[in-house]
Amino acid sequence: MAHGPRSAELRPISDRGWTVRTSHHVLTSRWLNLRSDACMTSSGSAIDPYYIVETPDFAHVLASDRGGRIVLVRQYRHGLGDLSLELPGGMVDGGETDILAVAARELREETGYVGGRMEILATLSPDPARYTNRIHFLRAYDVEPGPATPDPTEEIEVVLTSRAEALRLVWTGAIQNAPHACAILMGLRD
């Protein structure tokens, strides 16, 4: 049932959540679980099954070097079925709570860039409907080059761009990864 227009300032209506009546995993694996929930909406509609994808959180970094160049990575992404230009980063392993340390490690492993200073930029959901996970985006400044040590299954090409070029790659659609494109716009705004 639709509600009338409201101000965005109003607090969310907490009683609109779904009730989960039964739940089981269709599949569990290291990288991804698929969960099947039998749900009831707050107005009494049954939604069964509703599939949820459980994956770990990720940390990705919008890093710039001392010259202001942005550090991107290009790699094959099997969902997309094509190369994808993205922000370096990786999975937050179970139990890791120091997101800045995770981000610094993933930046170093994938690109070799280290040092500088880092701050949290945003924490976002790639798909609130299906995904349980969040992506933490960090902003790093004054990073310095060093040797990369990527995972053997990762074939990662480091791509350095100017700030203006990084923005242009988003505006033109050359960066197809929506959460990463969002972080670039958030991190490089005037």
What tokens does 164 get? 């203006």
Contact call for residue 101 and its own copies (CB under 8 A):
no
Residue in 80, 98, 117, 164 binding its own copies, rule: CB under 8 A: 80
Whether residue 63 contacts residue 113, with contact meaning beta carbons closer than 8 Å, is answered with: yes
Site for its own copies in 165-184 (CB under 8 A): 165, 169-171, 173-174, 176-179, 181-183
Residue type at 17 in one-letter notation: G
Contact call for residue 152 and its own copies (CB under 8 A):
yes
Question: CB atoms < 10 A from the CB of 125, how many?
Answer: 13
Residue 47 CB contacts under 8 Å (≥ 6 apart), including other chains: 18, 38, 39, 40, 41
Smallest distance from its own copies to CB 141, Å = 18
Site for its own copies in 2-21 (CB under 8 A): 2-8, 12-13, 16-18
Contact call for residue 77 and its own copies (CB under 8 A):
yes
38 to 57: interface string for its own copies, x by CB under 8 A? -x-xxx-x-x-xxxxx-x--
Site for its own copies in 115-144 (CB under 8 A): 122-132, 135
Helix/strand/coil (H, E, C) string of 28-53?
A: CCCCCEEEEEEEECCCCCEEEEEEEE
